Amino acid sequence: HLYLVVPVFMAMWLKLLEKIPSKYALVIPAVLLLFYVGKTRQASAYYKEQIVFYEVSLESNPINLAISYNLAFAYLSQGRWMDAYNVISSVCQLAEMEPYIKKAPFYPQVRSVYLQMQTSMEKK
């Protein structure tokens, strides 16, 4: 979403650099534009596959319950039950150490899925 401001940012640079009499005045916005294009290309790889996106997001924010919940369901949709169980159980273990997680909006759903998966694992 931050890349939506790039056109405005570039227009501002061009307007400011019009006042500077220099033959290198357009180099600065060109370098910035190349930087943003490179970063966008690098980040777009994470958005191509749902599971990769959620895994990368969870690495950067391991206590985000919504991401954990979505990652677990993405695993479940692919039949990766153990991976889903590991994600959900790690979140529930983390909630035991950090009580404020239990007050998060997604915690009841995460806990419910954890209990259901735990019961089904015990039956096997």
Q: For the chain, give the DSSP string.
A: -GGGGHHHHHHHHHHHHHTS--TTTTHHHHHHHHHHHHHHHHHHGGGSSHHHHHHHHHHH-TT-HHHHHHHHHHHHHTT-HHHHHHHHHHHHHHHHH-GGGGGSTTHHHHHHHHHHHHHHHHH-
Q: Please, what is the average pLDDT of the chain? A: 82
- The pLDDT, as a whole number, for residue 37 is 80
Highest mean pLDDT among 30-34, 70-74, 102-106, 109-113: 70-74
pLDDT band at residue 105, thresholds of 50, 70 and 90?
A: confident
In percent, the amount of the chain with pLDDT more than 70 equals: 91
Copy the structure tokens of residue 27.
């180099």
